[in-house]
Amino acid sequence: MIPYQAVIQQLEKQLVSAKNAATDQQICEALIAIRALCDVVLDSPSDPAPITPPKHLPQMLVSETKPSSLYTSKIEEDGANGDSIFDF
């Protein structure tokens, strides 16, 4: 979850932008940004579980890669005329 204080700082920044805007277009853009920031906070779950990075990442299992049977064996059919997937 985004900390409320960070959102409030961004809201204040956009409010200052709206107050100092020279055109109606700039005011609308700042107000849209304010609405979006409010929606982010209001639409998020009220008590989400905190996201913490794992303290220990498990070591990935290293295994020898084996070529797929799709690439190593060729299917032989009567009437086929080559290795292309477009050969019928």
**Total structural domains in the chain?**
1
10 Å Cβ neighbour count for 37?
Answer: 19
Q: Which value, to the nearest 10 degrees, does the dihedral of the CA atoms of residues 40, 43, 45, 48 take?
A: -10
CB count within 10 Å of CB 30 equals 19
Residue at 82 is within a domain: no
**85 in any annotated domain:** no
Q: Is the pLDDT of residue 59 over 80?
A: no
Residue with token string 């929606």: 39
Q: Is residue 37 part of a domain?
A: yes
32 or 48: which leads in pLDDT: 32
82: confidence class by pLDDT, cuts 50, 70, 90 = low
Is 70 contained in some domain? Answer: no
- The answer as to whether 21 is a domain residue is yes
Report the predicted TM-score, pTM, of the whole model to 2 decimal places. 0.49
Query: How high is the pLDDT of residue 11?
Result: 94
The residue whose two tokens read 């190593």 is: 72
Per the CB < 8 A criterion, the answer to whether 13 and 37 are in contact is: no
pLDDT of 54 reads: 54
Is position 52 within any domain? no
CA atoms within 13 A on the CB side of 41: 14
Is the residue at 12 inside a domain? yes
- pLDDT for residue 49 is more than 80: no
Q: Domain range spanning residue 14?
A: 4-43
